Amino acid sequence: MASGNAIRGSRVGAGPMGEAERGESAPRLRISFWCSNGHETQPSFASDAQVPETWDCPRCGFPAGQDEDNPPAPPRTEPYKTHLAYVRERRSDADGEAILAEALAKLRGEI
């Protein structure tokens, strides 16, 4: 059953807020940014604010710049490396064989 309360779901003091209540808004600039996928985004900035060099594209997440013909390159993503892959970068197969032989000799009690 519905009650006869007409203001259900609103809070006290809620009402239309206009320019008279909150003051005048700051003058704004809309700046265009383009990403490497050709997406354009136009965030607005206060006219006296410092505009950043790059902006993240809300569609693909790539960095976007103000030059449409020369947008920033997308970030290079490195594939996930395992611990073994990092060890193989630091050590050669000969180093690995020497370390293994030393560890086996230690286990056997030869050292």
Which residue ranges are tagged as binding site for Zn(2+)?
A: 35, 39, 57, 60
**Alpha carbon distances (Å) from 38 to 55, 58, 68:** 14, 12, 8
* Residue the block writes with tokens 């976007």: 64
What the block records as the tokens of 8 is: 């259900």
Q: Which two tokens stand for residue 109?
A: 């009690």
Backbone torsion region of residue 17, taken as left when φ is above 0, otherwise alpha when ψ lies between -120 and 50, otherwise beta: beta
d(CA 13, CA 75) in angstroms, rounded, equals 48
Residues of each annotated binding site? 35, 39, 57, 60
- Which token pair is 52? 């950043």
